[in-house]
């Protein structure tokens, strides 16, 4: 398992409720891909959402987000953290 | 106080030790700007570093990173999180 940070663009105007629902959708599908979405942070003004996950691969993160209905624009492995 | 996610590009090849030192430099200067850097995650391959902070403003985050010697390329307020 490794850590990943993925980024969604084009989410301008996202509300707290929409972020909560999107994260809940991720949690419903993640087990099938062996992924766990730990946190998400959103900037409604620029329309950017960052998601931190633990996953077996970048592809697994992308598949889980696809299944949840919101493909990520970027998925970066982040093997280093402090 | 609010939460911010900032992004540094061009950090390809960053090591665990360099990330630790950079974060330590942030922690040394943050109080003067009323900022607290909570976490940082790095992708040495794409050269991207993400930092999560609590701060009074975007400008305070940028000033703290400048003082620590590594200006951020982007600073986003992230008022929503799950």
Rounded Cα distance between B62 and A5, Å, is 21
Q: Do B19 and A81 touch (CB under 8 A)?
A: yes
Ordered structural domains, chain A, with CATH: 2-77 (3.30.70.3090)
Q: What is the mean pLDDT of residues B64-80?
A: 97
Is residue A41 within 8 A of residue B5, CB to CB? The reply is: yes
Model pTM?
0.93
Could you give the CA distance from residue B4 to residue B46 in angstroms, rounded to a whole number? 21
Residue in chain A lying closest to B78 (CA)? A43
Is A48 within 8 Å of B16 when comparing Cβ atoms?
Answer: no
What separation in angstroms does the CA of B79 have from each of A40, A42, B30?
11, 7, 20
The answer to whether A79 and A3 are in contact (CB under 8 A) is yes
Per-residue pLDDT tens digits for B34-63: 999 999 999 999 999 999 999 999 999 999
Digit-coded pLDDT (tens) for B12-39 = 999 999 999 999 999 999 999 999 999 9
Q: Name the residue facing B76 among A3, A19, A48 (closest C-beta).
A: A48
Any CB–CB contact under 8 A between A73 and chain B?
no
Check residue A35 and report its DSSP letter: -
What ipTM is given for this predicted complex?
Answer: 0.91
Query: For residues B47 and A14, what is the distance between their CA atoms, to the nearest angstrom?
Result: 28
């Amino acid at each position: 398992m490794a850590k990943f940070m993925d980024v969604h663009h084009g989410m301008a105007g996202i509300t707290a409720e929409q972020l909560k629902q999107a994260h809940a959708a991720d949690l419903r599908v993640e087990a099938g891909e062996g992924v766990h979405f730990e946190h998400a942070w959103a900037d409604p003004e620029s329309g950017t959402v960052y998601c931190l996950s633990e996953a077996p691969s970048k592809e697994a993160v992308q598949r889980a987000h696809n299944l949840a209905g919101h493909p990520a624009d970027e998925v970066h492995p982040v093997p280093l953290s402090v």
